[in-house]
Amino acid sequence: SGLQADAASAARIPGPLKARLFANENPFGPSSIAKKAMIDCMDNGYQYPFMLLKDLEAKICAYEGIDANMLMTSAGSSPLLLGSAITLLSNGGNIVSADPTYDDLPTRCEKIKATWIKVPLKPDYTHDLDAMEKAITAETKLVYICNPNNPTGTIVDVAKLKDFCERVSKKVPVFVDEAYIDYLPDPAATTLIDGVKKGQNIIIARTFSKVYGLAGLRVGYVIAQPAMIELLGHYAAAGGYALSLPAITAALASYNDKAYIDEVKKKMEASKHFLYETLKSEGYSYIPSYTNFVMFPLKMEGQRFVEEMYKREVGLRNWKLNNQDWCRISIGRMDEMQAFATAFKELS
Ligand code: PLP
């Protein structure tokens, strides 16, 4: 999967990196409020964190206007992606997704012998919802949509996606992975949670790994119909045995901390702007990104580019798309983007 590939490239790193730009993390880390709360919670480290988790879940439910039985939390959203694959595709069938997209859930489906139907992105690198709908067969058990999409950083037209979900979810569950939605100017206008509230068979995945800077602490959740949450609960490692006390504490302290989110987004946009200028000045194009990562076409073989950059202590990833080599670079701190620029100029 994408994440495993990240781990594999990380494992190949010979020494320390000047720029860690391969895993779409938030290098500004947890907020200072979250860090203090974690330190303060340590005396309670001997307790199972069931009650605290209820507090976090209550906070999420209140904000989203959903009942407790529509929410499932876990140690990041990854266990819930895996749980969905096992729950919905263990008896075979197929999953429909865009290509390329975040491949963790579809590759899990392939591992349990289901088929992955890949629908190419449109020429503007956005989801081809019409083609995806046509690709659905009687054996389709799940449709996966990553919005904004990883690795392209693109978004789908919200009105079209809402129509799509309303129609398609009557036939087959739709999984909308909103891991990067917090980076959009107006996440509430883009989320499909409203569809769930209207009774549609949609599973929304969210994570604290991105804008909240808690990837290493592990908190994520899904929002879906109560019957789907009940089903997922048979297989997904979730709730009070899956999440750790410091992780829940940090998530509680960070959730909807607007000042912190705005600060992260501002710094991230400044770094992204610097990247765009660097690419332009070196004669490269890029896919305009709504997220904290950017894809740009390379002028050399992708694997070689990544290796040369690793030699210069800059970690990033390569992709093959439309017979072209691409780089996906996560947006780091400004010093990391500068390290990238220095290494990149030596190669280009
Ligand atoms: N979904 C997408 C689109 C991602 O890019 C990632 C991680 O990079 C995840 C889900 C999983 O993240 P986590 O398990 O940290 O919530």
Measured CA to CA, the distance from residue 77 to residue 68 in angstroms comes to 17
Which among 277, 249, 272 has a CA at the least distance from the CA of 331? 272
Instruction: Find all residues with CB under 8 Å of 206, minimum gap 6, and list them.
Output: 77, 178, 179, 181, 220, 221, 222, 223
Q: For residue range 261-300, what is the model confidence (pLDDT) as tens digits?
A: 999 999 999 999 999 999 999 999 999 999 999 999 999 9
The residue assigned the tokens 């989801």 is: 127
Measured CA to CA, the distance from residue 222 to residue 310 in angstroms comes to 35
* Ligand 1 and 102: CB distance under 6 A: yes
Please check whether the two domains, 2-29+258-347 and 33-254, share a CATH topology.
Answer: no
Would you give per-residue pLDDT tens digits along the chain (348 residues)? 344 445 445 555 556 899 999 999 999 999 999 999 999 999 999 999 999 999 999 999 999 999 999 999 999 999 999 999 999 999 999 999 999 999 999 999 999 989 999 999 999 999 999 999 999 999 999 999 999 999 999 999 999 999 999 999 999 999 999 999 999 999 999 999 999 999 999 999 999 999 999 999 999 999 999 999 999 998 777 777 899 999 999 999 999 999 999 999 999 999 999 999 999 999 999 999 999 999 999 999 999 999 999 999 999 999 999 899 999 999 999 999 999 999 999 998
Tell me which amino acid residue 2 is: G
H/E element, 195:
helix 193-197
Provide the residue ranges of all domains of the chain, joining segments of one domain with +.
2-29+258-347, 33-254
Instruction: Find all residues with CB under 8 Å of 239, minimum gap 6, and list them.
Output: 50, 53, 72, 73, 74
Q: What is the interface pTM, i.e. ipTM, of the complex?
A: 0.99
Decide the pairing of beta strands 220-223 and 202-207.
antiparallel
Q: For residue range 31-49, what is the model confidence (pLDDT) as tens digits?
A: 999 999 999 999 999 999 9
Cα 78 to averaged position of ligand 1 atoms, centre (Å): 6
Q: Which CATH number is associated with domain 2-29+258-347?
A: 3.90.1150.10
Q: Alpha helices of 76-118 — where are they, by DSSP H?
A: 78-89, 104-111
Atom of ligand 1 nearest to the CA of 24: 8
Atom of ligand 1 nearest to the CA of 210: 15
Atom of ligand 1 nearest to the CA of 78: 14
Q: Which CATH number is associated with domain 33-254?
A: 3.40.640.10
